[in-house]
Amino acid sequence: MNRMRCRHCTEQAAINMRQHKLALCETHFVKWVQEQTRRSIEKYRMFGPDDRVLVAVSGGKDSLALWHILWSLGCQADGVYIDLGIDGDIGYSDQSRQCIEGFLQAFRLDAKLHIIGMRDTYGESLPEVARRTRRGRAKPCSTCGLIKRHEMNRLACEFGYTVLATGHNVDDEVAVLWGNTLHWQADYLARQSPVLPADRPGFVRKAKPLCRLYEREMAAYALISGIDYIYDECPFSAGATSLYYKEIFNEMERHSPGTKLKFYLDFLRAKKNGLFPPGQEEELEPCRECGQPTIANGMCAFCRLWEKRILPD
């Protein structure tokens, strides 16, 4: 039986965070998560009161919790959802969208939700693109990431947002970091950061305000706050390497609490101290199809997905 008490009051603890040696009740945990997020936003200079923030929402716990936290901190962020058309009428994408719409109603957020439907906009869902293209067949998750990055950056620029905030937690960051470290990819390691500045034309700033919070904490935050989110992993992600890396680090975390966070924060510190200096930036030019910046000669990777296809009327 858990008889642990909250550090700040006499209530029974709702969560014990071994890596911080910190047990908190529901009320103080929710405040703690919000304060941790505020500190990350400040520490990594993600955005300030004058910024227009757009949250990338998927319907999962992290992005909905992020949206909830931002409003609780007084940041009236809007949201964007990419409807990828995964699993037909009653499937994954529809359920995700319903969670987002339910969230907005439940918390009466006066926020705008932009929805980009892949099928409406480009005539094909992600599964259709994944079947038709070589890249999609080989790497559906990477193709999905490409589409989301492209479309969210496009929409943010079009609507004058200055920051795109994503719900990546420390488990996500560690899985990516570990993948890049395992292969010692210095260029990828140089780019991984809690905030990517909009230092080149055509790019909006990217920020990860939850980058120091554990996946487990975000699940607890969503649960305690009454956020109804989509529990299932995307059907395409089964067997994904990133899920395997998360398992490995969960095992190490059990063995030695704090392993995940320390690995990530020590990496950021080492980078600040000059490890992985940013390489020479490649020259960018506007894609001849969509106008977004690209390194390819003429056409960006997103537009190349649609190249050999006849667009619908």
- Residues making contact with a second copy (CB under 8 A): 181-184, 186, 244, 248, 251-252, 255, 259, 262-263, 266-267, 269-270, 273, 275-276
CB of 142 to a second copy, least distance (A): 18
Output the six-digit token pair for 52. Answer: 């227009």
Residue number with CB closer to a second copy (275 or 296) = 275
What is the DSSP-derived secondary structure letter of residue 77?
-
* C-beta closer to a second copy: residue 208 or 260: 260
- CB nearer a second copy, residue 268 or residue 284: 268
d(CA 85, CA 148) in angstroms, rounded, equals: 13
Shortest Å, Cβ 86 to a second copy: 26
The amino acid sitting at 47 is: F
Q: For the beta carbon of residue 36, count every other beta carbon within 10 angstroms.
A: 17
Nearer to a second copy, 150 or 246 (CB): 246
Q: Rounded to an integer, what distance in angstroms lies between the CA atom of residue 165 and that of residue 264?
A: 19
- For a second copy, give the closer residue by CB, 36 or 181: 181
CB 194 → a second copy: shortest distance, Å? Answer: 16
> Whose Cβ is closer to a second copy: residue 43's or residue 262's?
262
Nearest CB to a second copy, comparing residues 73 and 268: 268
* Cα Dmax for the chain: 65
Q: Provide the minimum distance between the beta carbon of 177 and a second copy in the complex, in angstroms, as a whole number.
A: 10
| Class of residue 261 by CB neighbours under 10 A (exposed 0-12, middle 13-18, buried 19+) | buried
Helix (H) or strand (E) holding 294: strand 293-294
CA 170 to chain centre: 11
- CB of 270 vs a second copy, minimal distance in Å: 4
Provide the token pair at 95. Answer: 């359920």
| Phi/psi of residue 62, nearest 5 degrees | -70, -50
Task: Kindly tell me which of 68 and 260 has the beta carbon lying closer to a second copy.
Answer: 260
Side-chain half-sphere of 174: how many Cα atoms within 13 Å? Answer: 27
Main-chain dihedrals φ then ψ at residue 113, nearest 5 degrees = -115, 110
We find the least distance from the C-beta atom of residue 179 to a second copy, in angstroms, to be 11
User: Least distance to a second copy from the beta carbon of 211, Å?
Assistant: 16
Distance of closest approach, residue 186 Cβ to a second copy, in angstroms: 5
Distance CA 10, CA 27 (A): 12
CA torsion 233-145-82-299 (nearest 10°) is -160
